[in-house]
Amino acid sequence: MGLTGRHRMRTHAGMPHGSTVKAGSNLMMYYQFNTGESSTSWPDQSSHERRAEPDGEETAPEVVVGGGLDFNDTNSSEDSSSMSFTKFTVQENYNFLSFIVCKPEDATNTLCYLSDSGSEVLQFTSANQHQLKTGTGGGTSSMTHSSIFTCPPGEKFLFMIHRTGDNTGTIKIYKNGLVCNGHNNSGTTNPGIFELQNLGVKNNPTSESNWFNGVMYDVGLIKAQGATDKVRDMITDYLCLKHGIERVGNY
């Protein structure tokens, strides 16, 4: 695991490395707290250099003391926070692993944290439902989960979406290492293609909506052969340790 009795872990781009995570170019983007993030720029720790930037001063998130960016939802494209980065694609039938450490400030509105310029999104639709929307070959997967898996406002947590099985597109979601039990432990299916280019908003720059309201600390995505169960467990261990989150279940 790269951990010792002194809880040290060697890292590359904020990830365990050496005999552990070797994502390489399959790490499509990684926005990590305490890496020089500001209201005007969040450096990408992957090899792709997809720096995230707001469209202007009015839509810039606020820097959080200690690390992270606070995204504000005013329900207006004029001054709600969002950032954009160079677009990339997760192809149809490709495995992927997305992860976000965040602390939402709202459980009543839909909170989109990653999207393209249209309807392809990763978002919390409530404290007890998560949604993945893909394009060709897929569609909308609304994954309702039980009360033991709630993602409430004011709580800092790690949330993951993991698609495996290649053309079967099996989707499972995880909170702090625990697999969701509300939409069946065998998962749902969605092998569709999708693109991503926005942080904290849906449909930018066409008809913005579903702004994220809260703090993002770490956000990333790995695709293809880098998105394995072993990698998911290693990143879970690393991020929970780093952020002081209790790691639960599914070791």
Looking at residues 227-239, what average pLDDT do you find? 95
pLDDT at 4 over 60: no
Looking at residues 66-89, what average pLDDT do you find? 95
How many whole angstroms separate alpha carbon 223 and alpha carbon 130? 20
Place of tokens 């340790």: 241
Window from 18-22, 149-153, 185-189, 193-197 with minimum mean pLDDT: 18-22
Window from 24-28, 126-130, 226-230 with minimum mean pLDDT: 126-130
How many whole angstroms separate alpha carbon 229 and alpha carbon 214? 29
Helix or strand (DSSP H, E) at 234: helix 229-243
Looking at residues 222-250, what average pLDDT do you find? 93
What Rg, from alpha-carbon coordinates, does the chain have?
Answer: 17
The full set of domains in the chain, from first to last, is: 11-243 (2.60.120.200)
**Mind listing the pLDDT tens digit for each residue in 73-82?**
998 999 999 9
Per-residue model confidence (pLDDT) at position 227:
95
Strand locations in 105-242 (E): 111-115, 121-126, 129-133, 140-144, 157-164, 170-175, 178-179, 188-189, 194-199, 214-223
Of 48, 43, 72, nearest to 60 (Cα)?
A: 72
How many whole angstroms separate alpha carbon 55 and alpha carbon 61? 11
**Mind listing the pLDDT tens digit for each residue in 103-139?**
999 877 899 999 998 889 999 998 888 999 999 999 9
Burial 86-104 (b: 16+ CB within 10 A, else e): eebbbebbbbbbbbbbbbb
**Mind listing the pLDDT tens digit for each residue in 169-185?**
999 999 999 988 654 55
3-state secondary structure of 171: strand
Per-residue model confidence (pLDDT) at position 15:
58
- Place 251 in a pLDDT band, splitting at 50, 70 and 90: low
pLDDT at 55 over 70: yes
Of 35, 57, 54, nearest to 217 (Cα)?
A: 35
Helix or strand (DSSP H, E) at 239: helix 229-243
Q: For the chain, first and last CA: distance in Å? A: 12
Per-residue model confidence (pLDDT) at position 22:
66
23, 214, 249, 251 alpha-carbon torsion, rounded to 10°: 10
Mean pLDDT rounded to a whole number for the chain: 87
